[in-house]
Amino acid sequence: MHKLFVNSVMVFLLCGCSVFAVHAQSDYTAVTDVAGFKSKLLKASANTKTIDCDFVQERNSSMLTKKITSKGHFWFKKPGFIRWEYTEPYSYLIILANKKVFVKDDSSRKQYDTQSNKMFKELGAMMFGFIQGNLASCEKDYTLEYFENGLNYYVKMIPKSTKVKETLSQVDLYFDKKDLSVSKIKMLEPGGDYTSIEFVNKILNKEIGDGKFSFK
Residue 44 scores a pLDDT above 50: yes
Tell me what pLDDT residue 139 has: 82
Tell me what pLDDT residue 18 has: 37
Tell me what pLDDT residue 123 has: 58
- Phi then psi for 55, rounded to 5 degrees? -140, 155
Going by C-alpha positions, the residue among 59, 127, 123 that lies closest to residue 89 is 59
Residue 20 scores a pLDDT above 90: no
Encode pLDDT of 94-153 as tens digits: 898 887 888 888 888 888 776 666 656 655 665 666 566 677 777 888 899 999 999 999
Which residues does 4 contact at the CB level (< 8 Å), separation at least 6? 57, 59, 68, 70, 86, 92
Average pLDDT over residues 3-19: 42
Report how far residue 99's alpha carbon sits from residue 125's, in angstroms, rounded to the nearest whole number. Answer: 10
CA within 13 Å, CB half, 142: 25
Report how far residue 52's alpha carbon sits from residue 70's, in angstroms, rounded to the nearest whole number. Answer: 18
Residue 33 scores a pLDDT above 80: yes
Tell me what pLDDT residue 169 has: 92
Tell me what pLDDT residue 7 has: 43
Edge-to-edge strands of the sheet including 109-113? 29-30, 142-148, 152-159, 170-176, 182-188, 194-204, 50-60, 68-77, 81-88, 92-97, 100-104, 109-113
Tell me what pLDDT residue 26 has: 55
Encode pLDDT of 56-84 as tens digits: 999 998 888 888 999 999 999 988 888 99
Would you list the domain boundaries of the chain? 18-213
Q: What is the DSSP letter of 140?
A: T
Residues 18-213, CATH architecture: Clam (2.50)
Report how far residue 49's alpha carbon sits from residue 91's, in angstroms, rounded to the nearest whole number. Answer: 27
SS3 assignment, position 21: coil
Encode pLDDT of 161-182 as tens digits: 898 888 889 989 899 999 998 8
Residues 165 and 171: beta-carbon distance below 8 Å: no
